[in-house]
Structure 1
Amino acid sequence: MNLACSLSYQETEVSLDDYKLESGFQLDLIAAEPLLVAPVTMSFDDTGRIWVVEMPSYMSNLEGKGEEKLTGKIKILQDLDDDGSMDHAKVFLDSLYLPRALAHVYGGLLYAEPPYLYFVDIENDSPTNRVIVDSLYAAEGNPEHQPNGLMMNVDNWIYNTKSNFRYRRIDDVWKKEPTTFRGQWGISNDNFGRLYYNDNSTQLIGDYVLPNRFIRNENLIPKYGVHKRLTNDQRVYPMQPTLVNRGYVDGVLDADSLLVNVTASCSPLVYRGATFPVNYSQNVFVCVPEANLIKRNILSFHGDSTSAKQAWEGKEFLASLDEGFRPVSLANAPDGSMYIVDMHRGIIQHRAYASPYYKKKAIASHIDTLMNYGRILRVSATNAKIHPLKTQLNQEQLLNSLNHPNGWIRDRAQQKLIQNPVPEHIPLLKSIVKDDNKPLAQLHALYVLEGTGQLSFEFLEAVATNCNPEVVVHAVVLLERFVSKEHLEKALQLFLKLQRRNDTVINLYIASTLGSWAKVGQQQLFPIIGQFLEYNSSNFILQEALLSGLSGQEEALLAYLDVDSIPEYDFFKDAVLRSLDSRRSDKKNRIYTGVSLTEDNRTKGAKLFRQICASCHGINGDGIEGLAPPLINSEYISESAERLALILLHGLNGPVTVNGERYEFNQAMPGLIGDETLTDKDIAGIISYVTNAFSDNPKGISIKKIEELRKVKSKSGGEFTEQELLELY
């Protein structure tokens, strides 16, 4: 790494006439090439400067050549003349390999450069004291499917997408622990601390509950509380015909060649600023770069679940006729507005998945020549007073900033109070936590106390009697740190008192914690658990919450409840029995099965599998819910090598049945036939590897046969369907 010279430019003038924004808002250009090129994400520092990650080697040409070049950078953008537009760039880090994420935390910078996750201190705008936080953060593979995001949540943990790990630094020691596997590109949180993400073909996914509440039982795979599609509406309303990878498939484009549903959605953002109209608070905006637009979704909270709906039919929050407009990331800002990272690149489909149709259309339209651009745009309400980004968070302002209407300010104030604790703040923070007149500040103050080790059972017990249900819930969760026989009776009385409030969200989290307290008092807790089950026999989310906390006590509870005589317990009983069977066979939730698979690294097939296939099917071949079926015990792996070769070459369009279970995905597995870098020998190597690694029937296939199968076409000319494959092999 090195620190390049500072660069200043005359501000680039870019017309925004081709952009259509919702009435009541304005769109401004904040930065443009040559100040930055191919930006993919950004972060603000404490003084409001923009730090941006550049990935210029990603698809810099239609063949994807040069991807391995060390051209990535992290830059600091500044507005030296205070006119609202960036005019100065300073390179903080250069010569990076496909950097993809960054976050300002702990007074330094956390950033991802495959395969590593690094943390550096910042001294005079220079990186110092570099530490490897995770040496296996983003294993070698397709850049479309590698961990990214890096977002500090209110609970003081750093979350990311395309990953099942979260991170935190305590006493200068970095911690890494399993969490729910989430999304593909970009992550966001609401004021309560729930997480939101998505994948290419599903514009908005989220967890109904706080992170890690439903995964404490290693043998339980939750189905009802996490990784939930929040809306079935994937419609988009672009202003112009769109080039997409599977545009040749019926239903992808309409009669006017307009995209019908999302195919590359990414980077959802829960708006938590304070300058948009009040009905925009905690709306979720979603990038749809393939259609040159940004969607708006309205969230509804139901206590034990969340749903979303598109704000409008027939139009978008922001859409453009500019085919280079590629919104790939969004950010809440210190000034209360929303910032858009526009990669502004013609080709964003990775070469590994690019279809012949896509390549042919790209060449004909010359969109592949659109490169060496990059923009940052700002969306603000037309009547809002936008203050300069240079908003210094001074130490004397931090406590008041916990109650700031802008979520970015609150988040950063929380971090800074933890980073530099002041003993005199402790009683003031405790007062804020108990003050129902400051609902925005309560959770932030609570987690400042958590982050500085100032919590006690007695304090949390008092907080749990608060009027604000969201504060009550977090106090109940944090009380688990003090599970002991000494505190059992008081905790029991607290839960009974809270239960009488008959609040849906409070009851859900009480259910989630009862099992943890039962470990020191089954005799006292099992009757309450039985009561919860009796009153919530049809509430599968609440029952799943109960199961999560019961790890190791399932058999004892079944014996106590005598569930065989009570039909209302059927769901709970079945779930418990599945969990017990998994424990006996040592089958854990895949997030606990380690970070890598023991593979035959000597073969090209193993390397290619990690690069191309593992991002969807999992490094262990377990599959990823909502994205791809498992390879282990799959008849597609253990039976016909020719059928498997057809799938690898030409792709597979669902639904598909694997090992007796039907998988209905809202997307197709793309074929590799369009990747000219993959030879017939490479395809044979992948088949050799996967049949050996994920089945008891290893097999090979000749290069000559693969050459023949390249010429076999489906009825559509694109991906095969399951029925077509079964008719052939």
Structure 2
Amino acid sequence: MKLINVLSSIFKAELYCIVIVLLIYSCKPKNFDEPQISLDNYKIESGFKLQAVASEPFIEAPVAMDFDNKGRMWVVEMKGYMQNLNGTGDDLPNGTISILEDLDNDGITDHAKVFLDSLVLPRAIAHVYGGLLYAEPPNLWFVDIENDMPKNRVLVDSLYSDGGNVEHQPNGLLLHIDNWIYNAKSHFKYQRKNNKWIKKPTAFRGQWGITKDNFGRLYYNTNSVQLLGDYVLPNTLTENPYYKPQAGLNNKLTPNQRLYPLHATAVNRGYVKGVLSADSLLLNVTSACGPLIYRGNKFSNEYKQNAFVCAPEANIVKRNILTFEADSVTAKQAIEGEEFLAATEEGFRPVNLNNGPDGNLYIVDMHRGIIQDKAFMTPYLRSLLAKKQLDTIIGMGRILKVSAENSPQTTAINLDDLNTKTLVNLLNSDNGWLRDRAQHILIYKNDKAAIPLLKNILKNNTNEIANIHALYTLHGLNALNFNYLNSILKTSSVKTICHTLVLLKAFASEIHISKFNETLQYLLTKNNPEIDLYALSSLKNWLQLNTQTFFPVAHNIVSKYKNNTVYYEALINGLSGVEAEYVNYISSKEVTPGLKSMLNLVVANRVNKKQNGIYTRRKTYTDSRTAGYITYKNMCATCHGFDGEGIESLAPPLMNSEYITEASEKRLALVLLHGLTGPVHVNGKLYELSTTMPGLANNPDFSDADILNIIKYLKSAFAGTSEKITIDDLKSLRKLTPENGAVYTEKELADLIEN
């Protein structure tokens, strides 16, 4: 009996061990063989190598990514987007955010685990504040991360993407050097302080993707303009609510939008004259997105701060060389007639770019046959997609890494394991990703031990970029004051001074006027255009305290830059609230007509309470115009702006436009039905935009009643009148298609209306 009991105990023990082993095994992440992806159909610039570091089955339809503090890739998978020619299923909760891992450390993803699932068209993420910020329209969410699992989800903004279709909703979530989070296709920025989320207005920027340079200027684009950007630091021209900057923000940086594809691709308006070459090659960008300023340290010096741009419609990643001046930035094609990366594989859809923790460049390849949203798809493209069977390229996705040809593979460091001194030292790194993360970690941890080390960086003043990071880290730690910043102005280099002027305005007070004026006079003796620009734009709080002291300073600076609108806008930013007094002050002084005109406009705007659209929300309606407002918000405002004032480089204004105000609504109806291409004149100004407005006549989602509702809203909101056109009129106008079978031109419309 004892022997039986012993054997029974042994058997139970062995069985118990087997169960434990099985349980342990079942909890281990599943490993797959690393997929072999051929890149033979890709051509990359000499001196570089291209590598697929993640692909299906680990990811599907990636549209954005971010790296965590361990160097792992987190990927946003928009699986519901254009799964077929009809775009059905885009409301299915099949989107995910996944963590990609390389368990055998060979540089290739061999495991993926889902962090969040059941999402509808998720579009952006950012690792901030120890958790994950993510966008799932219309909401912006934040979740803590505990053992790679979500915890304590918080709704940051229920109106993050209030309107717009999937191609035209906010995205980006770019953590900036100033500790704010910026977005493309949005005029809001976000920050968390004391566990509370703050949302503030900023300039409206771009369409899909946003990036920054080492100084802190922001860059973005629209589908037809490959690179747009700000000439100045964010918010330095938009603090006066009664002026909308025209010169310093949203500038077209590239002289042309040329593409050099390796093969003919399916594009939405290939039937329009001038879109394709004689060889059926796309001539200019039509889906530009995902710009990136390269801030890594693994490419040679000539590539530092180059601007890379995705052109998924042509299977291309472009490279531009930036040139920086005090009041401007320009960009040019790196190698004329050649692209940095081009492929003959039509499934290659680069939609976003990232700097990596290893200093290399990463490409988010959605790898999908259809990238044109159904709302704007032309019958021409639909037919071509079906003919080429591009709707069968689905269920795929890639992350590609670009590195120097002979560069060895490196292993990412775990930033969570680093002590205070090591994190502070990373601010001196020539890898921008490491600098950004080190700054944010120090602030998130509220690491007060870093303060003397940060001040030592500024004291040594040997690395200008490190200086700027140190300044904003101190700012995030609430370790700045007037006296300290004032001393920095006297000892630092130019770009550090510019940022210090921006930060110092928060400490403006009566007791500091004399000291600041003394420092300002010293700075002006440098005769540096960059310092002058930020001195002007940062005067707002000081002028509200004492115009007698600072009006002469402002006038002396702006007088040095005659007919330079960027400096005029910097002045107007600084004059917020005292514009009328300044106009009186300069009444007997020599001032250019251009500046006088701008100042008078601001004074009139303040009197008439006409604010920059980023500070206002348009009136909504509860009658028959409501449906029109909703459609305008979702379809039209993405290009013309919620305030109807137009968006630079994208679409002209509608406010008081002759297209809206004229008694006959036939021209407006024809444009809505059949589309319009430029150039066009609006309010006496010529707009030579490279965009084409698509018509809604072929869109099955829009009836004549829907179009009539849009007209009702447009007439009421932007002309203050009511409509006279009827449903029967629209039925007749549907039949008046353009002669070329495409869209109307301004002349064709005029001739048609006249006759």
Shorter-normalised TM range: over 0.9
- More deviation in 520-529 or 692-701? 692-701
- Alignment partner of 1:688: what SS? helix
**1:309 shift after superposition:** 0.9
- Read off the aligned partner of 1:665 and give its amino acid letter: L
**1:602 shift after superposition:** 7.8
Out of 662, 665, 673, the residue aligned to residue 641 of structure 1 is: 665
- Alignment partner of 1:643: what SS? helix
Q: Which residue of 1 aligns with 2:4?
A: none
Q: Which residue of 2 aligns with 1:380?
A: 403
- Alignment partner of 2:376: what SS? coil
- More deviation in 93-102 or 589-598? 589-598
| Number of aligned positions between the proteins | 724
Aligned-residue sequence identity (percent) comes to 50
Is the CA contact (8 Å cut-off) linking 2:506 and 2:541 kept in structure 1? no
- Read off the aligned partner of 2:430 and give its amino acid letter: P
**1:596 shift after superposition:** 7.0
Out of 552, 559, 578, the residue aligned to residue 553 of structure 1 is: 578
Deviations 1:7-63 (A, max 9, x none): 543222111010000111100011111111111000000001110001111111111
Q: Which residue of 2 aligns with 1:725?
A: 749
Structure 2 distance, partners of 1:39, 1:541, is 39
1:283 maps onto 2:283 in alignment: no
Summarize the alignment of residues 441-452 of structure 1 with structure 2, pairs less than 5 Å apart. Answer: 441-452=466-477
**1:403 shift after superposition:** 1.0
Structure 2 distance, partners of 1:464, 1:109, is 36
- Read off the aligned partner of 1:477 and give its amino acid letter: V
Structure 1 distance, partners of 2:465, 2:332, is 25
Structure 1 distance, partners of 2:630, 2:445, is 45
Is the CA contact (8 Å cut-off) linking 2:209 and 2:289 kept in structure 1? yes
1:263 maps onto 2:271 in alignment: no
- Alignment partner of 2:673: what SS? helix
**1:502 shift after superposition:** 1.6
1:490 maps onto 2:531 in alignment: no
Is the CA contact (8 Å cut-off) linking 2:297 and 2:359 kept in structure 1? yes
Deviations 1:501-552 (A, max 9, x none): 1222111111212343222222221222222233222322112111111012
CA 170–715 in structure 1, closer or farther in 2 if over 3 Å, else same: same
Out of 464, 468, 478, the residue aligned to residue 439 of structure 1 is: 464
Q: Which residue of 2 aligns with 1:423?
A: 448
Task: State TM-score, norm by structure 1.
Answer: 0.96
**1:87 shift after superposition:** 1.1
- Alignment partner of 2:299: what SS? coil
Q: Which residue of 1 aligns with 2:503?
A: 478
Out of 674, 698, 701, the residue aligned to residue 698 of structure 2 is: 674
Q: Which residue of 1 aligns with 2:738?
A: 714
Is the CA contact (8 Å cut-off) linking 1:353 and 1:674 kept in structure 2? no
Structure 1 distance, partners of 2:595, 2:377, is 45
Structure 2 distance, partners of 1:590, 1:356, is 35
Is the CA contact (8 Å cut-off) linking 2:505 and 2:539 kept in structure 1? no
Is the CA contact (8 Å cut-off) linking 2:678 and 2:691 kept in structure 1? yes
**1:97 shift after superposition:** 1.2
1:9 maps onto 2:59 in alignment: no
Out of 108, 118, 124, the residue aligned to residue 95 of structure 1 is: 118
Deviations 1:197-241 (A, max 9, x none): 000111111101110000111111111211111122211100001
1:161 maps onto 2:184 in alignment: yes
**1:702 shift after superposition:** 4.2
Unaligned runs of 5+ in 2: 1-26
Q: Which residue of 2 aligns with 1:525?
A: 550
- Alignment partner of 1:312: what SS? coil
Q: Which residue of 2 aligns with 1:685?
A: 709
1:507 maps onto 2:515 in alignment: no
Out of 326, 331, 337, the residue aligned to residue 354 of structure 2 is: 331
Structure 2 distance, partners of 1:679, 1:5, is 54
1:582 maps onto 2:582 in alignment: no
- Read off the aligned partner of 2:736 and give its amino acid letter: V
Q: Which residue of 1 aligns with 2:7?
A: none
1:306 maps onto 2:305 in alignment: no
**1:693 shift after superposition:** 3.6
Structure 2 distance, partners of 1:141, 1:536, is 40
**1:601 shift after superposition:** 7.8
**1:614 shift after superposition:** 2.2
Summarize the alignment of residues 555-574 of structure 1 with structure 2, pairs less than 5 Å apart. Answer: 555-563=580-588, 566=590, 568-574=591-597
- Read off the aligned partner of 1:651 and give its amino acid letter: G
Structure 2 distance, partners of 1:424, 1:65, is 55
Unaligned runs of 5+ in 1: none
* Larger-gyration structure (1/2): 2
- Alignment partner of 1:519: what SS? helix
- Alignment partner of 1:212: what SS? coil
Q: Which residue of 2 aligns with 1:210?
A: 233
- Alignment partner of 1:649: what SS? helix
Structure 2 distance, partners of 1:526, 1:632, is 35
- More deviation in 686-695 or 52-61? 686-695
Structure 2 distance, partners of 1:142, 1:701, is 27
- Alignment partner of 2:216: what SS? coil
Deviations 1:453-504 (A, max 9, x none): 0001111011112342111111111110111111111111111111111222
Is the CA contact (8 Å cut-off) linking 2:625 and 2:712 kept in structure 1? no
Structure 1 distance, partners of 2:63, 2:624, is 31
Deviations 1:215-272 (A, max 9, x none): 1111111112111111222111000012111111111100000111111101110000
Structure 1 distance, partners of 2:458, 2:682, is 51
Summarize the alignment of residues 146-157 of structure 1 with structure 2, pairs less than 5 Å apart. Answer: 146-157=169-180
